[in-house]
Structure 1
Amino acid sequence: MTVKKLLTHMMVAAVALSGFAASIAPTPTNAMVVSEQAQPTARYMVGTKAGTQGIEQAIQQLGGSIVDEWTFINTYLVEIDPSKASSIQSVPGVVFINQDEKVVENKGSSKTSDDKLIANVYQSVITSDKVVKKGITGKGVTVAVVDSGIANGAQSDFRKRVSANAKFSTAGNMSDSFGHGTHVASILGGDGTQSNGAYPGVAPGVNIVNVKVSDDEGKAGEQNLVEGLEWIYDNHKKYNIRVVNISNQIATQQNYKESATNAAVELLWHKGIVVVVSAGNQGGTSCSTCYAPANDPFVITVGSIDDKGTKDTADDSLKNWSSNGLTSEGFSKPEVVAPGSKITAYMPKGDLRGLKPENVVSNDYFTMGGTSMSTPMVSGIVALMLEQNPNLTPDQVKWILKNTTRSYGKQPAGSAGLVTADAAVFFNPSNIPANVAQNFELSSLITAAVDDDVNLDTPDSWSNIAWRNVSWSNIAWRNIAWRNNFD
C-alpha cells in the first residue's frame, strides 16, 4: 500500500473518530449469542519505534485489531476494548497510546490601496501601510493558509492571486462554508476590492495557496492538519511557498517534542519556510501556551492586543484572552503581538456570519477577533520582508521581527512587543548577527531520523522521518475560540 493511499485511509478514519461524522462513526456490534452483547470498542493511535516487529500479533492477542497503519510515521490505528487498551503500552516497541478524540469547538462571544480610504486602523498600528505606500505588497511571495478554505472568485478580494487549492477534509469543495479561513486570508492579503479600498489586507499583492483542512463546519482532525502540512512540504518549490499561516491548535496540551504537528512545522521550518501560528485564546488558563503548534520554540507565535480602534498605540493593551506565558518546557510565548480585536475583513459567506449578525458589516465583510486575526498580520509582514529581501532564512526573519518590535501603552512587563512592519521590512540584512540560528532541540520524531543519517534537505526526508511519539488527538480550533472570536 502506498503512503498516499495510507494517508487517505487515515484521514477517513480520523473523520469517523471525530464524532462529527456520525454516518461513518464506529458503533458497537451485537454478539452472536443473544444473551450477551459485545463490549463497545474504541479506537486508539499507537505510535511505535521504527523497526518494531510483532505489533499486529500483540494487538490480536489482546483482542484488538489493526484498523489502519500509517507506515511513514510508524503509527497504527487500533480498535480494542477500552479496558484492555492500557495493556498496549507494555508491548515492546510501543512509545505511546492515545485515544482518538473529537474536535473541541469553543463557542462563545467571541493591489496598492489608498490609505486614506482604509477603515481598519491595524495597518497603521503595525505600520504596514508605510510599506505598501512604497510599492512593496508581497508580490512574488506565496503564503499557504491552512484553514477552513477560502471563498474566492473573479469578484473577490483575492481574484487571481489564489494560485493553488488543496483539500484534506470531507468538505464537498475547496471554498469556505465556515468563513474563518476567508477572513484570515483577507487580513493576510485581501486587496479590498469589494469595499472600494476600505478593508485591504497587510500584503495585498501576495499569492495565496488555500490548504483546506476542515469540513464545512470548521471541524478537523490532527490527521487533516498534518496531511495539509505534508502537501506544503512536497509542493513548496512548485508554488514558491515561503510562509505558512496556521490559525488553529491541537485540543490537548502536549510536550512540543511529542507532537506530530510540531514535528511537521519543524520540518517545514528547516526547509526554509517561515511558519507563523496563533498563540490561542486561552489566556488566564493554566499553561495557556502549551498547545501545539504554538508551543514549538522554532515557529513564530503571535498574540493579540486591542488597538482600541485608534492609530495611537498609547491606549493599546494585551487582550485578556490572548494566550501568553511560559510553555511546559520554559519557552516564552508568544514572541510578538498584533491587533486582534474587532478586525473587519472579507468574508462574503460562512456559518460565522449567522452566529453574530450584528458583526456583519456588509454582504462581503464581517468583524471578528482573536489570535487567529493577529496571526495573518504577521504572516503578511513576513511576505513583505521576503519580497524586499528574498534570501532571508526563517531564523533571520524571526530574529528581525523580534528585534524590531516596539512597546505599546499597557504592555505587561516582560511580554512580547508589537510588530513593526516598516522597521522589519527595511531592516538592513548586513546588520543581522552572524549566527542567529535557533539551537533548540528538535522534536524527537525528527531526531530519530537525524540519528539514522536522514538529511532534512533531501526531497524524501518527510517520508523517512521516524515519527515516534505521534499523538493524533484532534485539532481544537482554539484560536476560533468563540468566547472571544467576535470581540
Structure 2
Amino acid sequence: MRKIRKLVFVLSVLLCLIAANACSGEGREKDKQTVSSQTEGTKQLTIERHPAAADLSAQYGYGKRDSLPGLFHDAYDIRSTDLTACDLTEDYGKLLKATFDSKTVWPDKLPGSFDPDKIMELYKNPGLTIRSLHEQGITGKGVGIAIIDQPLLVDHIEYKDRLKYYSERITVKDQDASMHGPSVASIAVGKSVGVAPEADLYYIAEDFELVLDDYGLLAESINKLLDLNKTLPVKNRIRVISISWGVDYNEGIGSKPLNEAYQRAKDEGVLVITTSIFKREDMAFFGLDKYPLSDPDDFNSYTKIPYPAEPEMMMKMKRKYNISVPMNYRCTASPTGAEDYAVYRQGGLSWAAPYVAGVYALACQVKPEITYEEFWKLAASTARTSHGTYEGEKYEAPYIIDPAAIMNELEKEE
C-alpha cells in the first residue's frame, strides 16, 4: 500500500511539472496578451500588457499618394505614406515642414539636399546642450519619472530598458499603441531622444476622452502612482508625473478628488506637470519653435513661442516663474514598430511637458533633496532669451531653459 501511495505521489508531481511546462509554453505564445513582470531588489513590478504596434496606414487612411497632402497645422503629414509615385524635386521647402516616419516610403525624385535619415538623426537630439550633460554622467539615473498618457508600445528600443511599470485603464485594453504615448515616453527617457535617458519610467495608460467627463478618473491614476511610490526605495522614487493634457479646472465632475490628488502629490514631494499647470501653481512652461535643420544645441536656433498665438492669452498663462523648452522639429519613438521613429514638425505642449519632467529628473540626480519649487525658480532665473528675424519677421524667444546652467548652480550647492 505504501508503495502504491509513493507511486501515486510521483505520478502527481510529474503531471504537475508537465502541466506547468505546457502552461509556460502557452504563455510564451500569448506573450502579447499576458502580464509580464520584472524583479528589482525586493519589489516586483508589472507590465500588464504589450499593446500591438499601430498601423497608421489603416488607422488614419494614409496610403499611396501621387502628391503631397495639404498643409495642416503648418505641417505636411506623410507618416506611413507611399510616395513612390511622387516627383518632389521642387518641394524642398514643403518637405522641411513634413511630418514623416520610418514607414514613409520615399520616391526616387527628391531634392538632392533632402535626406530623411539625416534629418531624423538631427531631430533626435533633445537640444540645449542636454547631451553634454549626459557625457558628464548627468542622465537622471535612478530617478523616477511617471507618465499618464495613451497606450504605450512597451517594447520600443528607446525606453524598454527604462520601463519599470506599465498599467492600463480597462477602457484602453483593446487599443493598439498610440502615437502619443511612445512620443512622450521617448522625450522623457529615450536612450537617444530623451532628456533623462537613465531615469526610471512608470506609466499608466489612460483614456483622456473619459477624463473630460470625470476628472476623478485622472485622480485615480495619480493616486495609484503615489501608492506605488511608497513601495519603491527612497532614492529611486517617482519625483515627477508628466501628463500631456490640460486638466486643471476648478469645476466639473471629479474636480474635488483631482484637486485632492494634486495636493497629495505636492505634500509627498511629487511634481505633477500638466499643460495647464499655470492654473494651480505660480509657474508656467511654454514650447519653442525653431529653424528647420538648425543646431538643436544653439539657443539662437529657437525662434518664438508659437502657442498661444494671442498676446492676451500669453499674459494669462504667464506666472512668476516661466520657462520654455523645445517643442517642434522633434524626432520621437513611433508606435509603428519597436525600432521605428517619427519626425514631427509640431509637437505642441504635449511634447514640452515630458521635456520639463526630464530636466527636473536631471536636477534630482544632481541634488536629490531639491524641491520642485526650488527647481522652477532656478530654471526661471537662469533662462535665456534669443532674438532674431525669421521669414522676414522679427522674433523674441523668451524663458529658454538652460539645463547646463541649472546643473552648474546645483553642483555649487553640493
How big is the shift at 1:135? 1.7
Q: Is 1:295 the counterpart of 2:279 in the alignment?
A: yes
State the 1:210 CA deviation: 0.7
Distance 1:267 1:417, change over 3 A: same
What is the CA distance between 1:409 and its match in structure 2? 2.1
- Contact persistence 2:144–2:240 (CA under 8 A): yes
Partner Cα distance (2:260, 2:212) in 1: 22
User: Aligned with 2:353: secondary structure?
Assistant: helix
**Is the Cα–Cα contact under 8 Å of residues 120 and 331 in structure 2 kept in the other structure?**
no
Equivalent in 388, 402, 410 of residue 420 of structure 1: 402
Q: Post-superposition shift, 1:271? A: 1.0
Structure 1 residues 156 and 231 mapped into 2: Cα distance closer, same or farther (>3 Å)? same
Cα 1:177–1:150 shift into 2, 3 Å? closer
* Corresponding residue number in structure 2 for 1:386: 364
Give unpaired runs (5+ residues) of structure 2: 1-71, 75-118, 389-393
Partner of 2:153: 151
Q: Distance in 2 between matches of 1:371 and 1:221?
A: 22
* CA distance 1:215–1:338, shift in 2 (3 Å): closer
Percent same amino acid among aligned pairs? 20
Contact 1:276–1:375 (Cα < 8 Å) also in 2: yes
Residue in 2 aligned with 1:172?
A: 173
Relative contact order (C-alpha < 8 Å, sep 6+): which is higher?
Answer: 1
Cα distance change on mapping 1:179 and 1:335 into 2, 3 Å: same
Residue 377 of structure 1 and its aligned partner are, at CA, apart by 1.2
Displacement, 1:296? 1.2
Counterpart of 1:229 in structure 2 is 222
Please show how residues 3-402 of structure 1 align to structure 2 within 5 Å.
109=73, 118-120=121-123, 123-124=126-127, 126-153=128-155, 156-172=157-173, 177-192=177-192, 200-214=193-207, 221-239=214-232, 240-250=237-247, 260-279=257-276, 293-297=277-281, 300-309=283-292, 310-311=294-295, 312-322=298-308, 325-327=314-316, 332=319, 335-349=322-336, 363-367=340-344, 368-402=346-380
Deviation digits for residues 118-146 of structure 1, max 9, x if unmatched? 4127533x221121111221110110011
CA contact (8 A) 1:169 1:224 kept: no
Residue by residue, what CA displacement relative to the aligned partner does 1:437-475 show, whole Å, maximum 9, x if unpaired?
xxxxxxxxxxxxxxxxxxxxxxxxxxxxxxxxxxxxxxx
Give 3-state SS (helix, strand or coil) of 1:402's partner.
Answer: helix
Question: Deviation at 1:316?
Answer: 2.4
1:157 alignment partner, SS class: coil
Shift of 1:264: 2.4
Closer, same or farther in 2 for the Cα pair 1:252/1:264, shift >3 Å?
Answer: closer
1:180 positional shift? 0.5
The Cα of 1:401 is off from its aligned counterpart by: 1.5
* Distance change (3 Å), C-alpha of 1:307 and 1:331: closer
The two structures have a TM-score, normalised by structure 1, of 0.51
Letter in 2 for 1:420: D
Q: CA offsets, 1:130-169, max 9 Å, x none?
A: 211112211101100111132111x521122111122235
Contact 2:124/2:332 (8 A) holds in 1: no
Output the CA distance in 2 between the equivalents of 1:297 and 1:219. Answer: 21
Aligned residue pairs, count: 280
**TM-score relative to the length of structure 2:** 0.59
The CA distance in 2 between the partners of 1:250 and 1:217, in whole Å, is: 12
Counterparts in 2 of 1:168 and 1:208: CA distance versus 1, 3 Å? same
Partner AA of 2:402 in structure 1: T
Which SS does the other structure have where 2:123 is aligned?
A: coil
Q: Which amino acid aligns with 2:246?
A: Q
Letter in 1 for 2:408: F
* Structure 1 unaligned blocks of 5 or more: 1-107, 111-115, 193-199, 280-292, 351-361, 433-487
Counterparts of 1:320 and 1:254, CA distance in 2:
28
